[in-house]
DNA sequence: TATTATTTGCAACTCAGTTGCATCATGAAG
DNA sequence: CTTCATGATGCAACTGAGTTGCAAATAATA
């Protein structure tokens, strides 16, 4: 939750022409500080006693998603995990990997995924996402 | 819900060493008859007055998934859609396409998706799934 | 500062999916 | 064919992430 995080959050809101409200700045800073996708609850927890109302966090995340600043990264146990969109291209996000042994999901930021064609049988394909499943490095060794 | 559907359902249960119960046969037949992934509610609706209890359908789907006969195809509006696994390889399922205009999700059974490498930074990748987003043929024409 | 459109907080709600438990049916053994 | 243990089913009650309505607060603008 650094000074630069605050500045970045401000300019992200500016860029998206969203009003600079306290909850939006806080949620953005929390997302900027996160190293993995986080849930509403994790955001609230991280913000401690200055956290906005639960409903406000949801509505903020929704607004940020709509503006393209944030993505719903993946769903785990009926709970959405959110992340900043700034490492994804318009057409393709990095893949998310879930370990079948420990259940942990990880962003594979540096993995190259081949892009599919932008059209198929009349379907116009604008974005592609990939989920991977297998064993993480910890669970992989026998 | 043909005779052959009944036979297929029976052999699928056999193959998976699952007990041949009425609910399992019904759910499997419903899935065999479906042309798209379906929800618990759609299965119940399709089976009409001989439908098993809602909880049983969920538990049946869970058992069939665990046995590898069925997949959770995609989630829409916090609701899982299920499909038979028999058109998927061990490593890769066909992609699912969601139209951002009408919200409909479709299986692209005939679409080729390049396979990723089976290992990356210590992660062992056993299965890959892809979700596509864009405009369906209907919504695509202006 | 005054005005207005947005945003926020709170309480109550929704509903797909889950859980506990008593009853029932399947498949194996005799 | 009958017995029996294991596993499956049905029902009622529950869970909890996410949603809705609305009054109060606040940001942008003049
Ligand atoms: Mn990610
Ligand atoms: Mn499918
Ligand atoms: Zn693991
Ligand atoms: Zn469409």
Q: What is the mean pLDDT of chain B?
A: 94
Give the closest of B95, B125, B136 to A132, CB-based. Answer: B125
What was the pLDDT predicted at A86? 86
Query: Which of B116, B119, B139 would you mutate first to test chain A, the one with the most A CBs within 10 A?
Result: B116
Residue A140 CA to residue A99 CA, distance in Å, equals 9
Inform me whether the pLDDT recorded for A2 exceeds 70: no
Nucleotide nearest to B77 (CA to C1'): C16
Please list all protein residues whose beta carbon sits less than 5 angstroms from ligand 2, which is an ion. B 73, 83, 107
**pLDDT tens string B75-95:** 999 999 999 998 788 899 999
Looking at the complex, does the CB of residue A100 fall below 8 Å from at least one CB of chain B?
Answer: yes
Average pLDDT over residues B42-69: 98
- Tell which wins on pLDDT, B39 or A87: B39
Which ranges constitute the DSSP H helices of A34-122? 40-47, 54-66
What was the pLDDT predicted at A142? 60
Domain coordinates of chain A in residue numbers?
Answer: 3-87, 96-136
> Which residue pairs from B30-33 have beta carbons closer than 8 angstroms and sit at least 24 positions apart in sequence?
B30/B1, B31/B70, B31/B82, B31/B83, B31/B84, B32/B5, B32/B8, B32/B84, B33/B1, B33/B5
Q: Tell me the angle at which helices A3-15 and A22-33 cross, rounded to the nearest 10 degrees.
A: 120
Collapsing DSSP to helix, strand or coil, A105 comes out as strand
**pLDDT tens string A57-75:** 999 999 999 999 999 999 9
Nucleotide nearest to A58 (CA to C1'): D18
What was the pLDDT predicted at B90? 87
CB within 8 Å of A25: residues ≥ 6 apart: A6, A9, A10, A13
What was the pLDDT predicted at B2? 64
Inform me whether the pLDDT recorded for B58 exceeds 70: yes
Average pLDDT over residues B102-126: 94
What was the pLDDT predicted at B142? 61
What was the pLDDT predicted at B1? 53
Give the closest of B114, B122, B137 to A122, CB-based. Answer: B137
> pLDDT-derived band of residue A56, with 50, 70 and 90 as boundaries?
very high
Q: Is B3-87 CATH 2.60.120.380?
A: no
Average pLDDT over residues B122-136: 96
Q: Tell me the angle at which helices B54-66 and B22-33 cross, rounded to the nearest 10 degrees.
A: 70
**pLDDT tens string A88-140:** 888 988 999 999 999 999 999 999 899 999 999 999 999 999 999 999 999 99
CA dihedral B90, B134, B42, B72 (to 10 degrees): 20
Candidates A45, A56, A48; CA nearest to A21 is A56
């Amino acid at each position: 939750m650094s000074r630069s995080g605050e500045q970045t959050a401000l300019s992200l809101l500016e860029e998206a022409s969203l009003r600079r409200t306290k909850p939006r700045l806080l949620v953005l800073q929390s997302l900027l500080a996160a190293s993995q996708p986080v849930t509403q609850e994790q955001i609230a927890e991280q913000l401690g006693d200055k956290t906005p109302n639960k409903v406000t966090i949801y509505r903020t995340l929704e607004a940020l998603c709509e503006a393209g600043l944030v993505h719903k990264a993946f769903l785990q146990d009926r709970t959405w995990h959110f992340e900043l969109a700034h490492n994804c291209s318009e057409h393709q996000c990095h893949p998310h990997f879930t370990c079948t042994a420990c259940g942990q999901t990880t962003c594979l930021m540096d993995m190259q995924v081949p892009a599919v064609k932008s059209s198929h049988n009349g379907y116009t394909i604008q974005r592609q996402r990939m989920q991977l499943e297998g064993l993480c490095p910890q669970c992989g060794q026998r």
